Amino acid sequence: MTIEAGWNLDNSYARLPKSFFSSHKPTPVRAPQLLILNESLAVSLGLDVDALQSEEGVAELAGNRLPEGASPLAQAYAGHQFGHFTMLGDGRAVLLGEQITPLGERVDIQLKGPGRTPYSRGGDGRAALGPMLREYIISEAMHALGIPTTRSLAVVSTGEQVIRETALPGAILTRVAASHIRVGTFQYVANWGTVEELRTLADYTINRHYPELAADENRYLLLLKEVMKRQASLIANWQLVGFIHGVMNTDNMTISGETIDYGPCAFMDTYDPATVFSSIDTEGRYAYENQPYMAGWNLARFAETLLPVLHDNQDEAVKLAQEEISNYSNIYQAYWLEGMRKKLGIFNEEDGDESLINDLLSMMEKQGADFTNTFRALTVSKPDETGLSGTQEFARWHSRWQERLTRQKEENVSVSVEQLMQSSNPAVIPRNHRVEEALEAAVEQGDLSVMERLLAVLSKPYAYTSNQEEYCTLPEPSDEPYRTFCGT
């Protein structure tokens, strides 16, 4: 007996102009096996867990069989990659359709690694198991941290090998996203489409992500403003937990404001603003400290794509776009400061807050303190565990901070300083050595239990429970800096 999987797919993207995508089916794989299924996500999407685990369900998650109502396609997009503009598109992804959830939300269901598409260029359209499990872990950790992100529904192994530097086991990730519309999607249409098509894409995006703007005659300028806000908030969130994306190319920046494309990303241990993990980012373009600027750069590219619909007069359009973009750094800074205040348990505003925060950060940098554990130690009132104690400078800073906390009235707010700090400072993050350990067990030994335990701990980063403690320890000191790779 087959159980209905609960697919409720619509295909609004497939109804857009034909040049926006290529209708394209996944290429079947030899021997799909379900390795991990995100049961709570499945349920929230209205999908049946047993059905997804059945032979038919697994075949759907592998691209061997199309879910009912699917209209598979690869999306066209362009992008500035490390500053260079190129035509790209889904080279190793296929959108099956948009699931309408029981709550009436519309989310993209995309297979990552389903074989070659018309946009694959020299690539094989496939993905290796390690990087797909890595995306699963980090995206789910980000979600649990409360940071907007694409989600991971499942990973299946394909029973086939992919050839990278060596032969690796192949896999397919099912990715769930508010949409996959990127800055690069707008760049593609602005460059190669008509103004009419650009308006179609902008209206589609507004209806999907910013419906409250749809009736406004200034909606394209407002779209720019809202995307800037969501991105500024997103990047501030990354900075506040020490997340480094690694490839903030314009094709990896969503219009929905979700984090997307977990390639060479990683969380920082030791606080060092110049931290870079990606092996290909030799210039440090996407270093931790540069992320806010690079987001601003990408948003300026987004603004450029909108020029033809902002105003009939190009000079006026440029003026409008420039005015908006010039606000970005203030908007970002306000989100960052708001978040940093919370990390220190501060819920009112004083002029000196920024220097209080920056003085802490500069001590952390000087002492090589661990980013997460320093804030965790302050949260649980164990200043000795900040990695900073023992200096006069820290003692002075600490009493300055304590005094600052006395200048706010807890009666005026619904949470205490401790609660505010606990809900703003994760006790656990996906530390690189823990992620590597989980991936090694899964990929080398076929043992997923290490990853499952890690996922369970990462699902409650603000819980401050004793079972988290073993996940808070730092890696053994190493001569080599941690490196992540793009050849995913």
Q: Sketch the per residue contact string, 308 through 347, with Mg ion: x for CB under 5 A, - otherwise.
A: ----------------------------------------
Strand partners, 278: 484
Complex with ligand AMP: residue 250 or 367, whichever CB lies closer: 250
Q: Which H or E run includes 162?
A: strand 151-163
Residue in the structure block whose two tokens are 């403003």: 225
CA 174 to chain centre: 15
* Residue 110, strand partner residues: 95, 175
301: three-class secondary structure by DSSP? helix
Cβ distance to ligand AMP smaller for residue 123 or 475 = 123
Give me the least distance between CB of 121 and ligand AMP, in Å please: 6
- Measured distance CA(394)–CA(360) in Å, rounded: 8
DSSP readout, 164-204?
SSSEEEEEEEEEEES---BHHHHHHHHHHS-HHHHHHHHHH
301 makes contact, choosing from Mg ion, ligand AMP, none, with CB < 5 to 8 Å by partner type, with none
Pick between residue 63 and residue 89 the one whose CB is nearest to ligand AMP.
Answer: 89
Answer yes or no whether residue 269 interacts with Mg ion by CB under 5 A: no
Whichever of 140 and 261 has its CB closer to ligand AMP, that residue is 261
With CB cut-offs between 5 and 8 Å by kind, which of Mg ion, ligand AMP, none does residue 434 bind?
A: none
Cβ-proximal residues to 265 (8 Å cutoff; 6+ apart), any chain = 138, 243, 244, 245, 246, 247, 277, 484
Taking the complex as a whole, the smallest distance from the CB of residue 136 to ligand AMP amounts, in Å, to: 15
Taking every pair of Cα atoms in the chain, the longest distance, rounded to a whole number of angstroms, is 72
Closest-approach residue to Mg ion (CB): 261
Q: Which is nearer to ligand AMP, 68 or 192 (CB)?
A: 192
* Shortest Cβ 251–Mg ion spacing (Å): 5
- Tell me which of ligand AMP, Mg ion, none is bound by residue 90, counting a contact when its beta carbon lies within the kind-specific cut-off of 5 to 8 angstroms: ligand AMP
Residue 252, interface with Mg ion (CB under 5 A)? Answer: yes
Residue in 10, 108, 216, 251 annotated catalytic: 251
Q: Which is nearer to ligand AMP, 90 or 226 (CB)?
A: 90
Between 86 and 449, whose beta carbon lies closer to ligand AMP? Answer: 86
Q: Which does 124 bind (CB under 5 to 8 A by kind): Mg ion, ligand AMP, none?
A: ligand AMP
How far is it, in rounded angstroms, from Cα 243 to Cα 348?
26
Cα 323 to Cα 311, 313, 332, distances in angstroms: 14, 16, 15
Q: Which of 261, 269, 281, 324 binds Mg ion (CB under 5 A)?
A: 261
Q: Report if residue 90 touches Mg ion, rule: CB under 5 A.
A: no
Q: Cα–Cα distances in Å, from 258 out to 69, 88, 238?
A: 26, 20, 11
126 binds, among Mg ion, ligand AMP, none (CB under 5 to 8 A by kind): ligand AMP
Rounded Cα gap, residues 203 and 220, in angstroms: 8
Cβ 366 to ligand AMP shortest distance, Å: 35
- When CB distances to ligand AMP are compared, the closest residue is 123
The binder of 125, among ligand AMP, Mg ion, none, by C-beta within 5 to 8 A per type, is ligand AMP
Cα–Cα distances in angstroms (integers) from residue 390 to residues 366, 375, 383, 397, 442, in the given order:
14, 17, 10, 12, 42
Residue 89 binds which entry of ligand AMP, Mg ion, none, with Cβ cut-offs from 5 to 8 Å by kind? Answer: ligand AMP
Question: In angstroms, what is the minimal distance from the CB of 371 to ligand AMP?
Answer: 26
b/e code 407-417 from CB counts within 10 Å (16+ = b): ebeeeeeeeeb
CA dihedral 472, 478, 482, 485 (to 10 degrees): -130
Nearer to Mg ion, 93 or 306 (CB): 93
Residues that bind ligand AMP (CB under 6 A): 88-92, 120, 123-126, 247, 252, 261, 263, 486
258 binds Mg ion, rule: CB under 5 A: no
Residues 37 and 156: beta-carbon distance below 8 Å? no
Binding region for Mg ion (CB under 5 A) out of 44-52, 252-260, 323-331, 365-373: 252-260
With CA atoms as reference, report the closest residue to 264 among 282, 280, 241, 283: 280
Q: How far is the CB of 252 from ligand AMP (least distance, A)?
A: 5
Q: How far is the CB of 252 from Mg ion (least distance, A)?
A: 5
Closest distance to ligand AMP from the beta carbon of 80 (Å)? 12
Q: Specify whether 251 is catalytic.
A: yes
Nearby residues of 412 by Cβ (< 8 Å), 6 or more positions away: none
Q: Which does 367 bind (CB under 5 to 8 A by kind): Mg ion, ligand AMP, none?
A: none
Amino acid at position 425, single letter: N
Does 150 interact with Mg ion (rule: CB under 5 A)? Answer: no
Q: How far apart are CA 362 and CA 114, in angstroms?
A: 46
Residues noted as catalytic: 251
Residues that bind Mg ion (CB under 5 A): 252, 261
